[in-house]
Amino acid sequence: MPSYATHRLRARDPARSPGQRFAALRTCLAEFAPYGFHATYHHLTRSAGIPPEPEEDPEAVVRAVDELDAARELWRDEFAAWKHRRRAQKAAGVRVPDPPEPVRRLWYPDPERHPGEPLPDVMPRILCAPAGGADHCPVCGPGPTTRAWHDGHAAHRLCAGCGASLAHRLTDPDPEALALRAERWRMVWRRMV
């Protein structure tokens, strides 16, 4: 299976059709999505201005993949430093990593609620997020309050500022909520919202 780097190159390749380039961007998102696939997809299509028909602005895909790649490089740098420290810990007999592996993403259950800032600006705050959750949002800090949100599968405690899930509990799925959510996601997928 081709890697993230291969699909990043395909998304930037002007010899490929805009549709092929857009498909390559979506495959990059399957590998690295700091807000979860749906919310990161929505963020990039909005921030890069990808129109419903990629042929209308082929360079929008390049803008999106560049933003995603810049955030991924920040994560890769942090992960490389962590691996170096972890090797030293293992050599010293430390069995449990301290600190744990860097967080790669936060969960944004509502794909239309996520930070509006560019991914490279938000990524350092995501990397500092505690692995087991937090009492306050790592992106917005302790200021914003939380609000409840139910996605049909689980009830979430969300940051009122950016929409990050701070905690969730499983509940019985609500078929009506699931149907509404699926319809809204189809609109996001087609870049109609």
pLDDT digits (tens, 9 = 90+) for 25-46: 999 999 999 999 999 999 999 9
Name the domain count of the chain: 1
pLDDT digits (tens, 9 = 90+) for 79-136: 999 999 999 999 999 988 888 877 778 888 888 989 999 999 999 988 887 665 566 7
- Among candidates 13, 23, 28, 21, which has minimal Cα distance to 119? 28
Q: What is the pTM of this model?
A: 0.84
Name the least confident of 6-20, 95-109, 150-164.
150-164
Question: Measured between alpha carbons, how far is residue 12 from residues 42, 52, 54, 61, 130 in Å?
Answer: 19, 18, 13, 8, 34
Which amino acid belongs to residue 3?
A: S
Residue 134 has a pLDDT of 61
- Among candidates 6, 39, 182, 181, which has minimal Cα distance to 105? 39
Domain range for 94: 4-189
Per-residue pLDDT, averaged over 51-61, amounts to: 93
Q: Which tokens in the block code for residue 52?
A: 């419903």
Q: CA 66 to CA 50: how far, in whole Å?
A: 13
Q: Which tokens in the block code for residue 64?
A: 């999106």
Q: CA 190 to CA 193: how far, in whole Å?
A: 8
Q: CA 164 to CA 133: how far, in whole Å?
A: 11
Q: What is the percent of the chain with per-residue pLDDT over 90, rounded to a whole number?
A: 50
> What are the strands of the beta sheet with 165-170, ordered from one edge?
146-150, 154-159, 165-170
